Structure 1
């Protein structure tokens, strides 16, 4: 049995961030990705709480967090930093999905010794080629507008996302720039890193662009491992929603990461 979750709020940069904490054992901070909330990750959170003292939260404009006047990479990074700071001096295992993985890498690089290790789920990938080119912008704009309509159905629920289609597009373009230099951030981290990646990040369509995106995703991890050979990698036969569709497998891999670190110290 896990301990009952407690809930509290962190106030940062004019934003109110709801935080949930429950479980027992090593502290773990779970950072959701773009368009993902604590409510979406309930299965993974419940599984992780069997082995960890899990802290999770909603990024600004997501779930139960308040809206903000800016949705930039640095703003989201500040949200993560505020939550970790609220924990005090215990160095947590930092687990992030998608955008959350990129935030985790940048936080760990900027705060040496502040985390025990990183588990990065389908994000923070130093892909060799950008995903969003000028030719892709019309498709990305259409996807952003379609997402906007879908998100309206979740309004006023724990699953809601308040970002506009333009916010989504601007942030994806910013993430492209961030990832172009992320290898430098990896060089600044001296903690264990485990990548859990999807084999079909862009989906399972047979069209040439989707196949290329999936190949580019794998090439990015191959590039990372060449540069940082001690980075562990696991691949799941899934798409980018693996934190929802493959929660038991991810929880097991996170548990295995903790076990491996314990053996390394023996």
Structure 2
């Protein structure tokens, strides 16, 4: 456990001398979602996972903001004495990874966003109220969804507010890529999921195209058959492949 601010974060670090990879979870996921990717990469890498506030084994907090999650990354890196991480983020974690890399261009050595950090989001007061109503309707089901990594130890209102903030953050993420200096290798999923139809998800993914055109360091490593919810489980090999792709670039730079 890493005590930080008003909470404590559950951190898992395999240790070793390999290049450190820090995994950033989806909105309500915990570190266990990365086990297939970690198995695929193997012991040649140093794997660091952690549960965000009120997820997994981490403690609750009075602050679940996006900035708080960015500060948590800093706290974990400091606690594990990691200066230059390779960040792998899924969904919400992909957005965190891009923002952290933009804030620390001299430290981030690479980013693998897994079906996230697309410049698209539901914004405006009408959509904010829609998100609040949706989570209010789900309030009784949220405790049942927690063991599945589909909810946090938060109230329905808190769930709604972090989703509103996330949508507004990703809607404005395109200029953030201007500040990311390291190689970025996307894993793009396919089809729809519980949170969106196939058509809406593909429209969201298409917003990546202008980012790719404007930034040579940002590329798609693979577009996989799995949808957003299943990509870490069914296409872990593609995620591991993107990590190795960045590792190869870094090895060339080292020599």
Partner of 2:181: 190
**Partners of 1:44 and 1:218 in 2: CA distance:** 22
Give CA-to-partner distance per residue, 1:36-68, whole Å, 9 cap, x none. Answer: 001233222333343310111000000000011
Unaligned runs of 5+ in 1: 1-8
Cα deviation for residue 193 of structure 1 reads: 0.7
TM-score by length of 2: 0.85
CA contact (8 A) 1:147 1:165 kept: yes
Pair 215,64 (structure 1): closer, same or farther in 2 beyond 3 Å: same
Q: In the TM superposition, what are the counterparts of 1:71-220 in structure 2 within 5 Å?
A: 71-127=64-120, 130-131=121-122, 140-141=131-132, 143-144=134-135, 148-153=139-144, 161-200=152-191, 202-203=192-193, 210-220=197-207
Secondary structure of the 1:153 match is helix
**Partners of 2:251 and 2:138 in 1: CA distance:** 42
Q: More deviation in 12-21 or 138-147?
A: 138-147
Pair 210,60 (structure 1): closer, same or farther in 2 beyond 3 Å: same
Partner of 1:249: 238
Partner of 1:237: 225
CA contact (8 A) 2:77 2:83 kept: no
Unaligned runs of 5+ in 2: none
Pair 148,253 (structure 1): closer, same or farther in 2 beyond 3 Å: farther
Pair 83,147 (structure 1): closer, same or farther in 2 beyond 3 Å: farther
Give CA-to-partner distance per residue, 1:96-145, whole Å, 9 cap, x none. Answer: 11111111111111122112111111111113xx3466665676456535
Cα deviation for residue 196 of structure 1 reads: 0.9
Equivalent in 29, 43, 56 of residue 50 of structure 1: 43
CA contact (8 A) 2:40 2:240 kept: yes
CA contact (8 A) 2:128 2:164 kept: no
Cα deviation for residue 188 of structure 1 reads: 0.9
Q: How many residues align?
A: 251
What is the RMSD computed on CA atoms of the aligned residues?
Answer: 2.7
TM-score by length of 1: 0.82
Secondary structure of the 1:187 match is helix
Cα deviation for residue 253 of structure 1 reads: 2.8
